[in-house]
Chain A
Amino acid sequence: MDTVVVEALNLDAITKRFGTLTANDAVSLSLSEGEVVALLGENGAGKTTLMNILFGQYTADSGTVRVFGKTLPPGNSRAALDAGVGMVHQHFTLADNLTVLENITLGVGSLLSTSSGRSATRDRIKALSQKYHLSVSPNARVGALTVGERQRVEILKALYRDVRILILDEPTAVLTPQETDDLFATLRLAIADGLSVIFISHKLHEVMAISDRVVVLRHGKITGGVRTADTDKHALATLMMGTEATPPKVPQSTPGPALLKLDRVATPDVGNAPGLKSVSLSLHAGQIIGLAGVSGNGQAAIADVVGGLVKPAEGRIEIGGSGIDRWTPREAVKSGIARIPEDRHKTGTIADFDLTENAILERYRSAGFSKAGWLNWRSSRAFAEAIINKYDVRCPGPDTPIRLLSGGNMQKLILGRVLEAAPRVILANQPVRGLDIGAVNYVHGQLLEARARGAAILLISEDLDEVMAMSDVIHVIADGQLSPGFGRGSMTPTELGLWMAGQGFKNENAHAS
Chain B
Amino acid sequence: MDIIDILFTASFWAATIRIASPLIFATLGELICERAGVLNLGIEGIMVSGAFAGWMAVYSGTGLWVGVGVAMAVGMLFGLLHSTLTVPFGLSQHVVGLGVTLLATSSTYYAYRLALPEVTSPPKIVAFQPYEIPLLSDIPLLGPALFSQTPLTYLAFVLVAVVGLVLYRTPLGLAVRAAGENPAAVAAQGLSVTTIRMGAVIIGSGLMAVGGAFLTMSAFDSFFFEMVNGRGWICIALVVFGSWRPGKAMLGAVLFAAFDALQIRAQQTSLGAQVPYQIFLMMPYILSILALVVMSRRAEVPAALMVPFNKGER
Q: Are A58 and B312 in touch, CB under 8 angstroms?
A: yes
The distance from the CB of A167 to the nearest CB of chain B, in whole angstroms, is: 11
Contact of B303 among A87, A96, A107 (CB under 8 A): A96
Q: Of the listed stretches B105-113, B138-146, B167-175, name the one at the interface; the rest are far from the partner chain.
A: B167-175
**B178 proximal to A (CB < 8 A):** yes
The residues in B between 275 and 314 inclusive whose CB is less than 8 angstroms from any CB of A are 300, 302-303, 311-312, 314
Q: Told that A76-B190, A95-B178 touch, could you supply 11 new A-B pairs with CB distance under 8 A?
A: A59-B312, A87-B188, A97-B177, A97-B181, A97-B302, A103-B185, A106-B175, A106-B185, A112-B172, A113-B171, A114-B170
* Complex CA distance for A110 and B303, rounded to whole angstroms: 25
Task: State which residues 183-206 of B face A: CB under 8 Å.
Answer: 184-191
Q: Does A80 contact B (CB under 8 A)?
A: yes
Q: Are A77 and B190 in contact (CB under 8 A)?
A: yes
Considering only CB atoms, which chain A residue lies closest to B189 in the complex? A107
Say how far A65's CB is from chain B's closest CB, in angstroms: 15
Question: A396 contacts the other chain (Cβ, under 8 Å)?
Answer: no
* Cross-chain contact B172 with A98 (CB below 8 angstroms): no
Residues of the B chain whose Cβ atoms lie less than 8 Å from the Cβ of A114: 170
Flag if A81 contacts B178 (CB, 8 Å): no
A373 within 8 A of B: no
CB neighbours (8 Å) of A81 from chain B are 189-190
Chain A residue with minimal CB distance to B311? A57
The answer to whether A97 touches B174 (Cβ under 8 A) is no
Please, what's the 1-or-0 string for A64-104, where 1 marks a CB less than 8 Å from any CB in chain B?
A: 00000000000111111110000101010111111000110
Contact between chains at B178 and A102 (CB < 8 Å): yes
- CA of A111 to CA of B175 in the docked complex: distance in angstroms? 8
Task: Please report whether the interface of chain A is mostly helix, strand, loop or mixed according to DSSP.
Answer: loop
The yes or no answer to B182 lying at the interface (CB within 8 A) is: yes
> Judging by beta carbons under 8 Å apart, are A57 and B181 in contact?
no
**Given A57-B311, A94-B182, A97-B300, A77 and B172 contact (CB-CB distance below 8 Å):** no
With A and B bound together, what is the CA distance between A105 and B314 in angstroms? 26
User: With A80-B190, A96-B181, A98-B178 in contact, do A105 and B171 touch (Cβ < 8 Å)?
Assistant: yes
> Can you identify 22 A-B contacts, CB atoms within 8 angstroms?
A75-B312, A77-B187, A79-B190, A91-B184, A93-B187, A95-B177, A95-B182, A95-B185, A96-B303, A97-B181, A97-B300, A97-B303, A98-B174, A102-B178, A105-B171, A106-B174, A106-B186, A107-B191, A110-B171, A112-B171, A113-B170, A404-B314
* Nearest CB of A to B37, in Å: 11
A92 (CB) vs chain B CBs: closest residue:
B185
Among A78, A80, A102, A106: residue with most chain B CB under 10 A: A106
CA distance A36 to B181 in the complex (A): 33
Contact flag A82-B190 (CB < 8 Å), given A58-B312, A106-B175, A111-B171? yes
A81–B186 alpha-carbon span in the complex (Å)? 13
Given A94-B182, A111-B172, A111-B175: A77 in contact with B303 (beta carbons within 8 A)? no
B303:A95 contact, CB within 8 angstroms:
yes
- Cross-interface CB contact of A57 among B182, B191, B312, cutoff 8 Å: B312
Whether the pair B191, A93 counts as a contact (CB closer than 8 A) is no
| Residues of A contacting B184 in the complex (Cβ-Cβ under 8 angstroms) | 89, 91, 93
B171 touches A98 (CB 8 A): no
Q: How far is the CB of A189 from chain B (nearest CB, A)?
A: 23
Q: In the bound complex, how far is the Cα of B188 from the Cα of A106, in angstroms?
A: 10
Q: Complex Cα distance A93/B179, Å?
A: 12
Q: What residue in chain A is nearest B166 (Cβ atoms)?
A: A114
Decide if A494 is an interface residue (CB 8 Å cutoff).
no
Beta-carbon nearest neighbor of A143 in chain B: B303
CB distance from A392 to the nearest CB of B (A): 22
**A272: interface (CB < 8 Å):** no
**Cβ contacts under 8 Å, B302 to chain A:** 97
**A89 touching B190 in the complex, CB below 8 Å, given contacts A57-B311, A106-B175:** no
The 10 closest A-B pairs by CB, nearest first: A78-B190, A107-B189, A95-B181, A93-B188, A95-B182, A81-B190, A77-B190, A107-B191, A93-B185, A111-B172
Closest residue on chain A to residue B312 by CB atoms? A58
Chain A residues near B303 (CB-CB < 8 A): 95-97
Chain A, residues 438-450, CB within 8 Å of chain B (1/0): the string is 0000000000000
- Complex alpha-carbon distance, A227 and B162, angstroms: 58
Is A116 an interface position by the 8 A CB rule? Answer: yes
Cα distance, A31 to B177, chains bound together (Å): 36
| Among B174, B300, B314, contact of A102 (Cβ-Cβ < 8 Å) | B174
A229 to B187, CA, bound (A): 37
- Establish whether residues B191 and A78, one from each chain, have CB atoms under 8 Å apart when the complex forms: yes
Q: Is the CB of A106 within 8 A of B170?
A: no
- CB–CB B188/A109 < 8 A: no
A78 to B191, CA, bound (A): 7
| Closest B residue to A89 using CB positions | B188
Chain B's closest residue to A77 (CB) is: B190
Q: How far is the CB of A61 from chain B (nearest CB, A)?
A: 12
For A114, the closest partner residue in chain B by CB is B170
Nearest chain A CB to B216 CB, angstrom units: 33
Residues from 444 to 497 in A contacting B, C-beta threshold 8 Å = none
Q: Does A108 contact B (CB under 8 A)?
A: yes
CA distance A254 to B268 in the complex (A): 90
Which residues of the other chain, B, contact A96 by a CB distance below 8 angstroms?
181-182, 303
Q: Which residues of B contact A79 (CB under 8 A)?
A: 190
Contacts of B190 in A (CB 8 A): 56, 76-82, 107
Contacts of B311 in A (CB 8 A): 57
User: Which B residues lie within 8 Å of A57 (CB)?
Assistant: 187-188, 311-312
Chain A residues within an 8 Å CB radius of B188: 57, 77, 87, 89, 93
A114–B165 CA distance with the chains assembled, in angstroms: 10
Chain B CB within 10 Å — which of A78, A82, A110 has the most? A78
